[in-house]
Amino acid sequence: MKTIRTEQQDGLKRNRPIKDWSGTRFGRLTALSLVERDVKYRNHKWLFRCDCGIEKVVPIRLVVTGHAASCGCLASEALAERNRTHGLTRSNPKEYRSWKDMRGRCNNPNDASYKDYGGRGIRVCREWDDFSVFLRDMGLRPDGKTLDRIDVNGDYQRENCRWAGHKEQARNKRNNVNIEIDGVTKTLAEWCVIYKTDSSKVRYRLDHGWSVKGAFTDGRYQRSNRACGATA
């Protein structure tokens, strides 16, 4: 590294050259010129230009050690970002709760639901580490709806998520039994609503060899399970 020689100052026994930091970049700061030589602590003051255009005199030790990386604009931007994010959480509490719970299920082994999410490989996309991006992608949460994944084995990401009601989510569970009757496929629970029967009764009948349609209609239809195509 180049050095600079200055006039000998009072208090200096020897007028040693000092490092020339001119043109060296530290974070957003670029050293321009030596302003003042420090006699006692060798913490010489340099003039720096920040990327934002502001010029500022800063002790070289603060810059070299990383305690100063800008004219102050970096800290201001960080504060503005924290205020913006905090403002979003206050104005969108429902969406923030969904975002926070989603991250807990996937990232926190102590979360009660972790075993069904993060524990089996479900992840949150990197973009959604930022709440503002999650809010932009998902929009406001409608009343009575919560965050739901379209593919229950897929990750939390824009293409795989929606705001869904209880019935939609119930139809989308991993343990659902899908049953086909007359070419139409619905979950067992949905067929029970249509035929106004109890799901435990239907499951018992199916386990004991009843035809699919007969299980829902007290045996009035005796078509075979194979013909009706029960699937799980």
- Quick: pLDDT tens for 25-78: 999 999 999 998 877 767 899 999 999 999 999 999 999 998 888 998 887 777
Q: Are residues 131 and 183 in the same domain?
A: no
| Residue 179 bridge partners (DSSP) | 186, 230
Q: Are residues 165 and 182 in the same domain?
A: no
Out of 6-20, 174-188, 204-218, the most confident range is: 204-218
Task: Kindly state whether residue 202 falls inside one of the protein's structural domains.
Answer: yes
Residues 196-210 have a mean pLDDT of 82
Query: Taking Cα atoms as reference points, which of 90, 78, 195, 92 lies closest to residue 136?
Result: 92
101 — pLDDT class (breaks 50, 70, 90):
very high
Q: Which domain holds residue 119?
A: 92-170
Average pLDDT, the chain: 81
Q: Are residues 139 and 184 in the same domain?
A: no
Q: Are residues 116 and 148 in the same domain?
A: yes
Find out whether 176 and 191 touch, Cβ atoms under 8 Å: no
Task: Kindly state whether residue 87 falls inside one of the protein's structural domains.
Answer: no
Domain count of the chain? 3
Residue-level pLDDT at 231: 43
Which tokens sit at 200? 């435990």
Residue-level pLDDT at 170: 59
142 — pLDDT class (breaks 50, 70, 90):
very high
Out of 28-32, 82-86, 221-225, the most confident range is: 28-32
Q: Are residues 127 and 197 in the same domain?
A: no
Task: Kindly state whether residue 126 falls inside one of the protein's structural domains.
Answer: yes
CA distances from 45 to 6, 23, 48, 64 (A): 13, 15, 10, 12
> pTM of the predicted model, to two decimals?
0.44
Q: Are residues 12 and 58 in the same domain?
A: yes
Q: Are residues 102 and 150 in the same domain?
A: yes
Report the largest interatomic distance among the alpha carbons of the chain, rounded to a whole angstrom. Answer: 111
Task: Measure the CA–CA gap between 96 and 167, rounded to whole angstroms.
Answer: 23
Query: Taking Cα atoms as reference points, which of 91, 99, 31, 87 lies closest to residue 59?
Result: 31
Residues 186-196 have a mean pLDDT of 77
Better pLDDT: 166 or 23: 23
Task: Kindly state whether residue 78 falls inside one of the protein's structural domains.
Answer: no
* Number of alpha carbons in the 13 Å side-chain half-sphere of residue 61: 6
Helix (H, G, I), strand (E, B) or coil at 30: strand
How many other C-beta atoms are found inside a 10 Å radius of the C-beta of residue 99?
26
Domain boundary among the residues 142, 170, 198 is at: 170
Task: Measure the CA–CA gap between 159 and 161, rounded to whole angstroms.
Answer: 6
Which three-class secondary structure string do you get for 130-170? CHHHHHHHHCCCCCCCEEEECCCCCCECHHHEEEECHHHHH
